[in-house]
Structure 1
């Protein structure tokens, strides 16, 4: 039996996209690299200890949890002491960019899927593909389109992390009780009013969980993104792997673990507070 040339079709499609829009993608990549670089330069103007103090104060004001504030202080001080402060800022910036874009795009898609089941039936195989295909596979076309830098790593991270936001938004909205929907309809609420006053508040916990998972998945792509030129903590990990440097590998890996723990604690507390405020 003759082989179906699926890979050849994909390559031809990507080559066509590159021929038509290569200059636009490269221009976008350069502007994105400049934007992220400018943000990092502004953050580096602030002394690390001053920035740590600001983060601790902000976390305590919004979370009202002394243990979390102390954990943030200890974790960020350790990262600065290990010498991975700029790399950590680069990693957090990449995660914030990826999470923001994933939430802006993924939450509306999840809402649409919850209201239109046939849309979810069409989107679901694509979400399965985005979550299960090896990350190195879609690093190839993003690298060809954007070149080396933050852009291919950012878009690869978005592809990997966005399905969690879409799925959990869809799950939260699809679990809204019909009784609440009927009450809203009985008061003459429009579709948009019902969405903002009933559905989204009820599904807020699930949506926030999707955003939290998106953050964790984005952070897990740090090392992979470093292979295509993205800065951050993944870069010293790759360098340690290439040179078999145990010290650098363990310290940079520990910095990634610290950031993951801090983000998880902050987001989990934020989610709990949101749920409690809704129940009251």
Structure 2
């Protein structure tokens, strides 16, 4: 027996058209804010000469981590500059930092809300499952429809793709706080805000930072995909190298992305360790 096909695609397109028609001012405002954030971060990263910024990042890596991380930062960033990808890398880094900041600012409060309300957790969890399992390319279609081509839809797609770990691990970290400590805080008359900021968040911070680390890595993994819709940076060179079968250029651009990924990963991993030591 043949059942008629559900017009799911038509429903999605109709919803997209309705949102585009009725919420255009909201999308324009979001585009302006995100564009300003990316532009500001990029301007800050490119304001100093490359060598000066490399030395600053190296010193920061030494302060946060160990001398090995600082040495890797120095050699890796000098290699990026030598290959001619410095400005493009800063454009990609601006996109990654913007997407990561938005993911953290949005994701941590949602994770806190899920940890305090089981019903909210049950509603949010399937949405996060959908966001993590849907192919990242699919996010580009509505992002382009709502925000046109450029860096902004790339940031939006990156946020959708990267935000689930922050929400999940914030929720998990707070729920793993020992019940005895929570009961002791209640017994001493702590308000919910005091209990959250002075007890639960400090204890859950290692788990939350693990989620933040994963969010940053996922944002960086979207650099190449975002270049398909007009986002500039190293990802655009990788995409052009693939379409033109230029293995050498693609490898050089890929090395720049790998160096940024390793450096961001090591810095975020050691950032909380520095605070607790």
TM-score range normalised by the length of the shorter chain = over 0.9
Gaps of 5+ in 1: none
Q: Determine the structure 1 residue equivalent to 2:226.
A: 225
Distance in 2 (alpha carbons) for counterparts of 1:46 and 1:124? 43
- 1:230-241 equivalences in 2 (<5 Å): 230-241=231-242
1:173 and 1:199 in contact (8 A); partners too: yes
Shift of 1:135: 1.3
Q: Determine the structure 1 residue equivalent to 2:22.
A: 20
The reply to whether residue 52 of structure 1 matches residue 54 of structure 2 is yes
Distance in 2 (alpha carbons) for counterparts of 1:212 and 1:6? 36
Tell me the secondary structure at the aligned position of residue 229 of structure 2: coil
Q: Determine the structure 1 residue equivalent to 2:108.
A: 107
Tell which deviates more after alignment, 134-143 or 151-160.
Answer: 134-143
Query: In the superposition, relative to structure 1, how do residues 43 and 268 fare at CA in structure 2: closer, same or farther (>3 Å)?
Result: closer
Distance in 2 (alpha carbons) for counterparts of 1:16 and 1:262? 43
Shift of 1:28: 4.4
Distance in 2 (alpha carbons) for counterparts of 1:173 and 1:45? 40
RMSD across aligned positions (CA): 1.6
Tell which deviates more after alignment, 6-15 or 119-128.
Answer: 6-15
Tell which deviates more after alignment, 218-227 or 31-40.
Answer: 31-40
2:111 and 2:167 in contact (8 A); partners too: yes
Gaps of 5+ in 2: none
Tell which deviates more after alignment, 243-252 or 41-50.
Answer: 41-50
Shift of 1:186: 1.2
Q: Determine the structure 1 residue equivalent to 2:163.
A: 162
Tell me the secondary structure at the aligned position of residue 112 of structure 1: helix
Query: In the superposition, relative to structure 1, how do residues 72 and 19 fare at CA in structure 2: closer, same or farther (>3 Å)?
Result: same
Once the two structures are superposed, residues 120-168 of structure 1 have per-residue CA deviations (whole angstroms, 9 ceiling, x without a partner) of 1011110000000111112101101101111100000000000010000
Q: Determine the structure 1 residue equivalent to 2:143.
A: 142
Distance in 2 (alpha carbons) for counterparts of 1:35 and 1:131? 25
Distance in 2 (alpha carbons) for counterparts of 1:141 and 1:229? 14
Query: In the superposition, relative to structure 1, how do residues 242 and 118 fare at CA in structure 2: closer, same or farther (>3 Å)?
Result: same
- 1:113-124 equivalences in 2 (<5 Å): 113-124=114-125
The reply to whether residue 92 of structure 1 matches residue 93 of structure 2 is yes
Displaced runs of 4 or more, over 4 A:
none
- 1:164-179 equivalences in 2 (<5 Å): 164-179=165-180
Distance in 1 (alpha carbons) for counterparts of 2:230 and 2:6? 34
TM-score (norm 1): 0.93
Q: Determine the structure 1 residue equivalent to 2:11.
A: 9
The reply to whether residue 212 of structure 1 matches residue 213 of structure 2 is yes
